[in-house]
């Protein structure tokens, strides 16, 4: 879908921007993930688990463990948005 292509392009752009400003030795471990959800239904619109499968087959979007703080941030942000 268009959203999937957009999320992949955004992930790669962010990755390349970080590479430009970071040191060479960090390039081997740098990666990322994107998950885009429809707010009112929870429908998954796009999911990218990493920069490339060749770089790493580990899917950061579905297999990575998150700190508890990351799990409740969407709820806190939604309350803030609702309150203006």
Predicted confidence band of residue 25 (pLDDT cuts 50, 70, 90): low
Contact indicator for 45, 3 with CB cutoff of 8 Å: yes
41-57: per-residue pLDDT in tens?
989 999 999 998 888 89
> What average pLDDT does range 23-35 have in this prediction?
76
- 44: which strand partners? 37
């Amino acid at each position: 879908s268009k959203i999937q292509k957009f999320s992949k392009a955004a992930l790669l752009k962010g990755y390349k921007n970080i590479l430009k400003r970071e040191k060479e030795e960090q390039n081997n471990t740098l990666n990322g993930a994107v998950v885009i959800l429809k707010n009112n239904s929870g429908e998954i619109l796009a999911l990218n688990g990493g920069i490339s499968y060749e770089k790493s087959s580990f899917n950061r979007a579905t297999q990575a463990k998150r700190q508890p703080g990351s799990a409740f941030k969407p709820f806190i942000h939604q309350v803030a948005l609702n309150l203006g």
